[in-house]
Amino acid sequence: MSKPIRSKFLLSFYTSFVVTNEANNKCVDIDSLNEPVGEYFAKNVVPKLEGLHKGDTGKIVVVGGSSEYTGAPYFAAISALKAGADLVYVLTTASAAPVIKSYSPDLIVHPTLSPSTFTAIEAVLRKADVIVIGPGLGRTPETVHLTANILNTCRTLRKPLVIDADGLYVISKDVTLVKNYPSPGIIMTPNHLEAKYLKKAVEAVAARGGQGDILSGSLGTFFGWALKANVCASVPTFAAARLTRACNEIAFAAHGRSMTASDMLLQIHAAFEKCFGEL
């Protein structure tokens, strides 16, 4: 495993990742552990089930979806829920909302992703422990502008972020949106092509192969747990990548080349038990 580097961002990859040291240097980071990361995560980050109330294991908001793309925000949101979050909200467009609602009654879907309803958007963002931005957003100029406004609002609210997919495209167009972002900070999950966009943009200001929406959703949940446990972002990033890979391995063993993301979703519980013990 590579040494953490000091950067403004944390980039998560499916098989490897680049880690930051957060502004709060007292948090527990991977390099300070005396035991395997997965074991530490299971013992010290995963919330115990006894005595919990609704919302205690995480309130995640997924910002994404469009008329063309309804699967991506669903996969991210349901992965956050299946990984252990209590409440998951999807902020999406009016055209995408009925479709996403039809996929699952377990998600709270808000059809308010529009500049004309920004007050309603902010009200949902305020509820979040962690916000996942990007799955299925699309890249129209109107969407890019709206997403930039959402990122600025998240900065003001000091909300921890996971940024994936089209959210990364927005940042590549204006990296100042995340420059000097306040603690607890941001985790970004680029695939190889997205990483090339970001590398060019980030170098100017800060000297998949298979990730996907299951990673960003589960990472949103794990990031929230880690913040409550005062554990640096490197630990939940490792855990989410490990969980996603285990889902892939278990689903591929059952379905081979016909495996789909839906097959992987069904393996989240088994993968969690394999990696970290009982959920």
The pLDDT of residue 193 is above 70: no
Q: Is 74 annotated as a binding residue?
A: no
- Name the 3-class secondary structure at 121: helix
Reported as a pLDDT band with limits 50, 70 and 90, residue 5 is very low
Determine how many CB atoms are found less than 10 A away from the CB of residue 214. Answer: 26
pLDDT attached to residue 24: 47
pLDDT at 49 over 70: yes
- pTM metric for this prediction: 0.86
Beta carbons within 10 angstroms of residue 3's beta carbon: 7
Q: Is residue 1 part of a domain?
A: no
Q: How many domains does the chain have?
A: 1
213 marked among binding-site residues: yes
212 annotated to bind ligand: yes
The answer on whether 206 is annotated among ligand-binding residues is: yes
CATH number at residue 102: 3.40.1190.20
2 located within any domain? no
Instruction: State whether residue 206 is helix, strand or coil.
Output: coil
Distance CA 265, CA 117 (A): 32
- Please give the pLDDT value at position 177: 95
197 is in an annotated binding site: yes
In a domain, 4, yes or no: no
How many whole angstroms separate alpha carbon 57 and alpha carbon 49? Answer: 9
Domain that holds residue 93: 10-276
Rounded Cα distance, 237 and 34, in Å: 18
Quickly state the pLDDT bin for 29 (edges 50, 70, 90). low
Residue 103 has pLDDT above 50, yes or no: yes
The string of pLDDT tens digits covering residues 63-77 is: 999 999 999 999 999
According to the annotation, is 110 in a ligand binding site?
A: no
